[in-house]
Amino acid sequence: MFSIGQLSKRTGVKIPTIRYYEQMGLIDEPERSEGNQRRYTKDGLSRLSFIRHSRDLGFSVEDIRGLLDLSQHPEKPCSDAHNIATQHLQDVQSRIAKLRRLERELKRITKCDAGNVATCAVIETLADHGLCETEH
Amino acid sequence: MFSIGQLSKRTGVKIPTIRYYEQMGLIDEPERSEGNQRRYTKDGLSRLSFIRHSRDLGFSVEDIRGLLDLSQHPEKPCSDAHNIATQHLQDVQSRIAKLRRLERELKRITKCDAGNVATCAVIETLADHGLCETEH
DNA sequence: TATAATTCCTCTAGCCACTAGAGCCTCAAG
DNA sequence: CTTGAGGCTCTAGTGGCTAGAGGAATTATA
């Protein structure tokens, strides 16, 4: 049996976040001690690790709900899990693409070596979209 | 003089967002018509364009507050503007780096062609961090 | 000029995934 | 039995908007 603090240390999920996940229904309400404190089992630990890991990989709480559900049913086909993961991969890839365009633009405008704001490329570019190289 | 709707169309910023910016103090409270509707000048238009453009480049509202402030003082040195922009560039770059690690991991796990959840790499990897290639 | 259609107003609440803090209670070690 | 660490619930805040209710003003058409 683990206290919420022990669970937190083992998984790296902060205590308020664990309680938040409970409220969101991602993890079951655990048993309580006589004094009403949460007491977790190994099952609770691995479920939370699963969640932590999925969050690290950037899955949304809703995605995780689906993935957790699937993980409870080993006999199901795993195409659903693949769909969730593949969709997420695509999201990640399009975010990367967008950030790379930003990076390019920011690199360009931060090159400016003007002395004051009147002729500064950063300010000038922000004031006038026409000076940009790419769409964003 | 523009109504809020005209301003919205010209800048591409949605009407509630314009009111939100006003509330946040990013734009001045404009004059009002007799019937209490907002009426903007060209100055208001260019200030909002500046904001829109900065948001497109991913600057936070707080950053934009600083940049707007600088843009009002053309005689100031532009090192402050550069600091804001360079810091933001670094943020963008570290976000890209993080997303690329995610992308790599997601690509790896979505390659799995198991038939059901019991042996599915997606689920398995999520359940066990030890199966990952990189830190995240 | 009368009316209809469109736009605008304020206000409140919701989104996501947490995080912070107040004020109190429980637990384990010495 | 005391003490200090850790736990409890509850409310509110974060960022950057977005949605909707219920009503008033403006503009276009007849």
Kindly write down the DSSP assignment for every residue of B47-101, as one continuous string: HHHHHHHHHHTT--HHHHHHHHHHHT-TTSBTHHHHHHHHHHHHHHHHHHHHHHH
Strand C footprint nucleotides (protein C-beta < 7 Å)? 7-11, 16-21, 25-27
pLDDT of B57 reads 92
Mean pLDDT, contiguous 10-residue spans, chain A (136 residues): 95 95 94 96 94 93 93 88 92 94 91 78 82 62
Cα(A19)–Cα(A43) distance, rounded to whole angstroms?
16
pLDDT value at position A134? 63
Q: Which residue has the higher pLDDT, B121 or B101?
A: B101
pLDDT of residue B131: 67
Give the number of residues written for chain A: 136
What pLDDT is attached to residue A74? 86
Please tell me if residue B97 touches chain A, with a CB cutoff of 8 Å. no
The confidence score (pLDDT) of residue A112 equals 78
Specify the pLDDT at position A130: 64
Contact residues, chain B, for A91 at CB < 8 Å: none
Residue B86: what pLDDT?
Answer: 93
pLDDT band at B47 (very low <50, low <70, confident <90, very high): very high
> Averaged over B17-44, what is the pLDDT?
95
CA torsion sign, A22 to A27 to A32 to A38? Answer: negative
Structure tokens at B29: 């409270």
What is d(CA A59, CA A53) in angstroms, rounded to the nearest whole number? 9
pLDDT value of position A132: 61
Residue A108 contacts residue A133 (beta carbons within 8 Å): yes
Partners of A31 in the β-ladder = A39
Mean pLDDT confidence for B16-25: 95
| Cα–Cα dist B105/B68, whole Å | 40
The overall pTM is greater than 0.75 = yes
Tokens of A94: 């399009």
Q: How far is the CA of A24 from the C1' of D20 (A)?
A: 25
Among B56, B76, B55, B46, smallest CA distance to A114 is for B76
Residues B46, A127 contacting (CB under 8 angstroms): yes
A71 touches strand D (CB under 7 A): no
**Distance between CA B7 and CA B49 in Å, rounded?**
10
Query: What pLDDT is attached to residue B134?
Result: 65
User: Is B81 within 8 Å of chain A by CB?
Assistant: yes
Closest CA to B4 of B36, B25, B26: B36
Does residue B8 carry a pLDDT above 80?
yes
CB-based contact, A71 to chain B, within 8 Å = yes
Distance measured from the CA of protein residue B77 to the C1' of nucleotide D21, in angstroms: 49
Higher-scoring residue by pLDDT: B101, A115: B101
pLDDT at B132: 64
Task: Report yes or no: B77 and A113 within 8 Å, Cβ to Cβ.
Answer: no
Q: Give me the CA A8–C1' C29 separation in Å, rounded.
A: 22
